[in-house]
Amino acid sequence: MAHSKEMTRICVIGAGPSGMSMLYHLAKMEGQGKRIPDVVCYEKQPDCGGLWNFDWRTGVDEHGEPIHGSMYRHLWTNGPKECLEFPDYTFDKHFGKAIPSFPNRAVILDYLNGRWNTVNARKFVRGNTKVKNVIYNPDNDDFTVWARDQVDDKDLPPEQFSHIVVATGHFSVPNIPYFKGVETFPGRILHSHDFRDAHEFKGKNLLVIGSSYSAEDISLQCVKFGANNIVCSSRSGPMGFKWPAQIQERPLLERIEGQTVYFQDGTSTEVDAIIFCTGYKHTFSFLPDNLRLKTENTFYLPNLYKGIVWIKTGNNKLMYIGMQNQYYTMTMFDVQSFWACRVILGETTLPEKEVMEVDIARWIHKLERVTSTSQAIDFQTEYVMDLGRESGYEHNLDVKDIFDYWEEMKMESIMTYRDNVFKSKFTGTISCKHDKPFMDALDNSYDDLY
Ligand code: FAD
Ligand code: NA7
């Protein structure tokens, strides 16, 4: 479709929680009688939901494209649901009763779908459609997008858009460092991206590399489902939880000789499998260098004003949602999206480039002084609150107290923190307990969504 300079036409890339928040707000505004621009959301999976769609496949999908999903079968949320609850669509509203604070992944997807359905946000989504290329056209001050219909196996005609919103997530493309001798290892080697079910490791001795959320939770999952022993290897110090007897922590892996893995402190052990929990790479293969965010997994991103607007090239009409490291998730994506919608609709005016640069530098400088989890939560709370204030977001999203309590519970006991109950900031409802403690709950019946 041709695009004139005056026309606003939005392309959202990705229909995970971030992209869907954009669509939710646009559909809601439309429902309130506001005139909204033409919107198209390209999603390479068959449906919306992003990482919350469990994918049994690993490697490539049925169309030969890299699998997006990194979720595993028995995943329960690792933060309390009270920290990701939408004030305008609470868990009480969706489920009609109190549910546990750490639900399994199917419950979260059901909840998200419930909110999106209230405004039929899905109507903008073109599923099974992968964005292959985007360019900025300085002459016309717009973007051209090339996408591919994966079911019909054909490229679609290029389309013009005034705005691009990149919401393709950043926990999908694995970061896999090399360790000397790894090619001699005779057992299974995988990255957390390809981890699907801990049953596979029953009775096995494992090496887990990394010391963040995936390392911690995959180790626990493996203990839960009967792994014999797990050694976690970290480059920046131990995680320091009170682990069960089957889990030990060691310094960074130094080399591998056959089944034996050697650590930097000179110790060694024999393992049957190696799981790289070494994080993910921000990857935007569909974007040229002048539009492409290049970053580590951090709490404030380079070249993005308010963590959203790409200021390096072009016209401030390329935006990214959900690209920072995350304590806040769904609500942060939501306030980012609301803020972005207001900018696109001309209800918020962006300052001059120099002012935006100074603002980014100020946040990054502030982040450099963050040295603890609690401070990182403070930092992200401040960021979320700043966006809320600027955009006139209707609700106060500050759940720092709940995060702090969660962190305290986790340090007290990594095995049982998910058995605690938390109170909703928005309804005052205290969650109920699961029928079994986390470490004993092996069946995870997804049919019973509470
Ligand atoms: P995603 O969910 O990754 O969605 C991005 C979407 O973009 C996908 O649907 C993808 O198919 C699509 N896409 C990508 N490339 C293209 C393309 N070229 N063309 C078209 N579409 C494309 N968060 C929590 O709040 N609680 C948790 O317990 C929790 N657990 C997690 C566990 C794991 C194992 C992982 C990996 C993450 C977890 N998260 C958790 C964090 C997670 O990042 C967010 O909850 C959320 O899924 C991020 O949403 P998103 O929309 O930004 O990205
Ligand atoms: P994270 O949180 O980005 O953590 C990555 C981890 O990988 C972290 O501990 C890193 O160590 C470690 N890492 C990265 N590169 C290396 C090398 N070269 N050697 C050793 N260790 C390395 O990713 P996660 O997968 O844990 O979590 C991502 C999301 O999935 C999150 O939302 C969870 O809820 C689920 P570092 O700490 O930098 O020393």
Question: Is 427 domain-assigned?
Answer: no
Residue 3 has pLDDT above 50, yes or no: no
Q: Are residues 155 and 25 in the same domain?
A: yes
Domain that holds residue 255: 182-276
Question: Is 64 domain-assigned?
Answer: yes
Question: Is 129 domain-assigned?
Answer: yes
Closest residue by CA, ligand 2 atom 18: 177
Q: Are residues 213 and 362 in the same domain?
A: no
Residue 221 has pLDDT above 90, yes or no: yes
Residue 413 has pLDDT above 60, yes or no: yes
Ligand 2 atom nearest the C-alpha of 326 is 32
Q: Which residues line ligand 2 (CB under 6 A)?
A: 78, 171, 175, 177, 192, 209-215, 235-236, 252, 277-279, 297, 326
Q: State mean pLDDT over 196-203.
A: 97
Q: How far is the CA of 158 from the centre of ligand 1 (A)?
A: 26
Question: Is 444 domain-assigned?
Answer: no
Q: Are residues 53 and 128 in the same domain?
A: yes
User: What is the reported pLDDT for 447?
Assistant: 52
Minimum-distance ligand to the CA of 195?
A: 1
Closest residue by CA, ligand 2 atom 16: 278
Closest residue by CA, ligand 2 atom 33: 213
Q: Is the CB of residue 201 less than 8 Å from the CB of residue 225? A: yes
- pLDDT, tens digit (0-9, with 9 covering 90-100), for 105-143: 999 999 999 999 999 999 999 999 999 999 999 999 999
Q: State mean pLDDT over 31-44.
A: 96
Q: Are residues 151 and 293 in the same domain?
A: yes
Q: Which residues line ligand 1 (CB under 6 A)?
A: 13-19, 42-45, 50-52, 68, 70-71, 77-79, 84, 130-131, 167-169, 171-172, 286, 322, 326, 329
Residue 249 has pLDDT above 80, yes or no: yes
User: What is the reported pLDDT for 239?
Assistant: 96
What is the residue type of 392?
Answer: G
Residue 4 has pLDDT above 60, yes or no: no
Q: How far is the CA of 170 from the centre of ligand 1 (A)?
A: 7
Q: Are residues 221 and 349 in the same domain?
A: no
Q: Are residues 382 and 271 in the same domain?
A: no
Residue 297 CB neighbours (<10 A)? 17
Minimum-distance ligand to the CA of 63?
A: 1
pLDDT tier, 6 (very low <50, low <70, confident <90, very high otherwise):
low
Picking from 389, 276, 293, 282, the residue whose alpha carbon sits closest to that of residue 339 is: 389
Of 212, 243, 276, the residue at which a domain comes to its end is 276
Between CA 230 and CA 224 the distance in angstroms is 12
- pLDDT, tens digit (0-9, with 9 covering 90-100), for 355-391: 999 999 999 999 999 999 999 999 999 999 999 999 9
Minimum-distance ligand to the CA of 239?
A: 2
Question: What is the DSSP track for 317-332?
Answer: -EEE-S-S--SS-HHH
- pLDDT, tens digit (0-9, with 9 covering 90-100), for 281-325: 999 999 999 999 999 999 999 999 999 999 998 789 999 999 999
User: What is the reported pLDDT for 443?
Assistant: 79
Compute the mean pLDDT over every residue in the chain, rounded to the nearest whole number: 96
Q: Are residues 40 and 148 in the same domain?
A: yes
Please give the share of the chain, as a percent, with pLDDT higher than 70: 97
Q: Are residues 356 and 247 in the same domain?
A: no
Residue 2 has pLDDT above 50, yes or no: no
Q: How far is the CA of 298 from the centre of ligand 2 (A)?
A: 11
Exposure of 47 in the CB half-sphere (CA atoms within 13 A): 9
Between CA 53 and CA 211 the distance in angstroms is 25
Q: Are residues 213 and 299 in the same domain?
A: no
Residue 7 has pLDDT above 90, yes or no: no
Q: Are residues 148 and 125 in the same domain?
A: yes
Quote the number of domains for the chain: 2
Q: State mean pLDDT over 51-55.
A: 97
Q: Are residues 340 and 290 in the same domain?
A: yes
Picking from 391, 162, 170, 358, the residue whose alpha carbon sits closest to that of residue 281 is: 170
- CATH of residue 208's domain is 3.50.50.60
Question: Is 145 domain-assigned?
Answer: yes
- pLDDT, tens digit (0-9, with 9 covering 90-100), for 58-93: 999 999 999 999 999 999 999 999 999 999 999 999
Tell me the pairing of strands 142-149 and 129-137: antiparallel
Q: State mean pLDDT over 99-103.
A: 96
